Structure 1
Amino acid sequence: MSPLWPTGLRRRSATLGLAALLAAGTTAPDALAAPAHRAAGTHLGAVRVIARFDRSAGQAAESIAPEPGGGAVIGMIPARQVVRVAPDGAVRVLVTMPLPPGGGGTTPVVGIPGVARSDRGDVYFLYSSGQGGLTGIWQVRPAGAPRLVVPMPADTMPNALVIDGERDRFLVTDSTGGRIWQAPLRGGAASVWSADPALAPDGFFGANGLKVHNGAVWASNSDHGTIVRIPVTAGGAAGRAQVRATGLAGIDDFDFTGRGTEILAAINQSSRLVRVGPDGTQDTLLDAEDGLEGTTAVAVRGNRAYVTNGANLAGNHPDLLLAQLRHW
Structure 2
Amino acid sequence: MRNRMLALAVAAGIALVTVPTSTAVQAHPAMTSRIAVHFDLAKGQMPENVALGPDGTAYVTFAAARQVAAISPTGAIRILTTLPAPADGGAGTPALGFALTTGIVRTADGTLYFLYASGDAATTGLYRLRPGHTLQRIAALPATGLPNGLAYDEPAKTFYLTDSVLGSISTVPLNGGNARVWSSAPELAATGFLGANGIKVRHGAIWATNLDLGTLLRIPIRQGRPGPVQVKAAGLAGIDDIAFPGNRDDQVIATLNAPNKVVRIDADGHAVTLLTAGLQNPTSVAVRGRTLYVLSAAYLTATDPNLVLATLPRH
Shorter chain as denominator, the TM-score bin is 0.7 to 0.9
Equivalent positions of 1:78-89 (< 5 A) are: 78-89=64-75
Q: Which has the higher contact order (CA 8 A, sep 6+)?
A: 2
1:168 aligns with 2:154: no
Q: Tell whether the 8 Å contact from 2:49 to 2:61 is kept in structure 1 after alignment.
A: yes
CA–CA distance in structure 1, aligned partners of residues 171 and 161 of structure 2: 6
Q: Tell whether the 8 Å contact from 1:268 to 1:313 is kept in structure 2 after alignment.
A: no
Deviation larger for 242-251 or 142-151: 142-151
Alignment counterpart, residue 198 of structure 1, candidates 177, 187, 195: 187
Aligned partner of residue 156 in structure 1, secondary structure? coil
Aligned partner of residue 46 in structure 2, secondary structure? strand
Following superposition, the deviation at residue 49 of structure 1 comes to 2.0
Q: Match of 2:122, as an amino acid?
A: G
1:223 aligns with 2:212: yes
Aligned partner of residue 56 in structure 1, secondary structure? helix
Alignment counterpart, residue 66 of structure 1, candidates 46, 52, 56: 52
Following superposition, the deviation at residue 168 of structure 1 comes to 0.5
Alignment counterpart, residue 224 of structure 2, candidates 236, 240, 243: 236
Aligned partner of residue 149 in structure 1, secondary structure? strand
Aligned partner of residue 88 in structure 2, secondary structure? helix
Which residue is equivalent to 1:3?
none
CA–CA distance in structure 2, aligned partners of residues 149 and 43 of structure 1: 45
Provide the aligned C-alpha RMSD in A: 1.5
Which residue is equivalent to 1:261?
250
Equivalent positions of 1:23-172 (< 5 A) are: 45-104=31-90, 105-109=92-96, 110-143=99-132, 145-172=134-161
Following superposition, the deviation at residue 45 of structure 1 comes to 4.2
CA–CA distance in structure 1, aligned partners of residues 295 and 203 of structure 2: 25
Which residue is equivalent to 1:323?
310
- 4+ aligned runs moved over 6 Å, structure 1: none
CA–CA distance in structure 2, aligned partners of residues 140 and 319 of structure 1: 24
5+ residue gaps in structure 2? 1-27
Aligned residue pairs, count: 284
Q: Tell whether the 8 Å contact from 1:268 to 1:294 is kept in structure 2 after alignment.
A: yes
Rg larger in structure:
1
Deviation larger for 295-304 or 207-216: 295-304
5+ residue gaps in structure 1? 1-41
1:284 aligns with 2:273: yes
Which residue is equivalent to 1:308?
295
CA–CA distance in structure 1, aligned partners of residues 71 and 210 of structure 2: 28
Aligned partner of residue 166 in structure 1, secondary structure? coil
Q: Match of 1:238, as an amino acid?
A: P
TM-score by length of 2: 0.87
Which residue is equivalent to 2:12?
none
Deviation larger for 181-190 or 293-302: 293-302
CA–CA distance in structure 2, aligned partners of residues 299 and 316 of structure 1: 22
